[in-house]
Amino acid sequence: MSSSTATRRSFAAMRHPRFRGFFFTYLLAMMADNIEHVISYWMIFQKFHSPALGGFAVLSHWLPYLFFSLPMGALADRVDPRRLIQIGMAMFIGVSLGWGYFFATDTLEMWHAMLLLVLHGCAGVFWQTPSQLLLHAIVEPEELQSAVRLNATARYLGILVGPAVGGAMLVWLGPIKGMFLNACYYVPVILWLWRLHYRREATGRTAVRGFQDIVRTLREIASRPQIVSMSLLAAAAAAFIGNSYQAQMPNFAIDLGHGDPGAAYSILLAADAAGALTAGFLLETLGGFTTGARTALLLAMGWCCALACFALTPIYSLALIFLFCAGFFELSFSSMAQTVVQVEAPADIRGRVLGVFGMASLGCRAFAGITVGLIGSLFGVHISLALAAAMLLAAVVALLLRSRPA
Domain edges within the chain: 13-196, 222-406
- HEC profile of the chain: CCHHHHHHCCCCHHHCHHHHHHHHHHHHHHHHHHHHHHHHHHHHHHHHCCHHHHHHHHHHHHHHHHHHHHHHHHHHHHCCHHHHHHHHHHHHHHHHHHHHHHHHHCCCCHHHHHHHHHHHHHHHHHHHHHHHHHHHHHCCHHHHHHHHHHHHHHHHHHHHHHHHHHHHHHHHCHHHHHHHHHHHCCHHHHHHHHHCCCCCCCCCCCCCCCHHHHHHHHHHHHCCHHHHHHHHHHHHHHHHCCCHHHHCHHHHHHHHCCCCHHHHHHHHHHHHHHHHHHHHHHHHHCCCCCCCHHHHHHHHHHHHHHHHHHHHCCCHHHHHHHHHHHHHHHHHHHHHHHHHHHHHCCHHHHHHHHHHHHHHHCHHHHHHHHHHHHHHHHHCHHHHHHHHHHHHHHHHHHHHHHHCCC
Of the ranges 46-50, 212-216, 228-232, 334-338, which one carries the lowest mean pLDDT score?
Answer: 212-216
pLDDT score of 250 more than 80: no
Do 222-406 and 13-196 have the same topology in CATH? yes
Which tops the pLDDT comparison, 246 or 177? 177
Reported as a pLDDT band with limits 50, 70 and 90, residue 402 is confident
Residue among 246, 235, 242, 245 at smallest CA distance from 395: 235
Nearest CA-CA partner of 358 in 125, 79, 85: 125
* pLDDT mean across residues, the chain: 86
- The set of residues, in sequence order, having a beta carbon less than 8 Å from that of 184 and lying 6+ positions away, is none
How far apart are the C-alpha atoms of 352 and 71, rounded to whole Å? Answer: 7
Does domain 222-406 fall into CATH 1.10.579.10? no
Q: Among 246, 379, 226, which Cα is nearest to 307's?
A: 246
pLDDT digits (tens, 9 = 90+) for 4-18: 444 456 788 888 889
pTM of the model: 0.85
Mean pLDDT within 154-159:
87
The predicted model gives 319-338 an average pLDDT of: 92
Give the model's pLDDT for residue 322.
Answer: 96
Tell which wins on pLDDT, 375 or 102.
Answer: 102
- What tens digit of pLDDT does each residue of 343-354 get? 888 888 888 899
Mean pLDDT of 297-322: 95
Torsion of CA 367, 369, 375, 380, to 10 degrees: 150
pLDDT digits (tens, 9 = 90+) for 83-126: 999 999 999 999 999 999 999 999 999 999 999 999 999 999 99
Name which CATH class applies to 13-196: mainly alpha
The pLDDT value given to residue 7: 44
Spell out the residues 6+ positions from residue 215 whose beta carbon is closer than 8 angstroms to its own: none
Confidence of residue 31 (pLDDT cuts 50, 70, 90): very high
pLDDT grade, residue 253 (50/70/90)?
Answer: confident
Check whether 404 has a pLDDT greater than 70: no
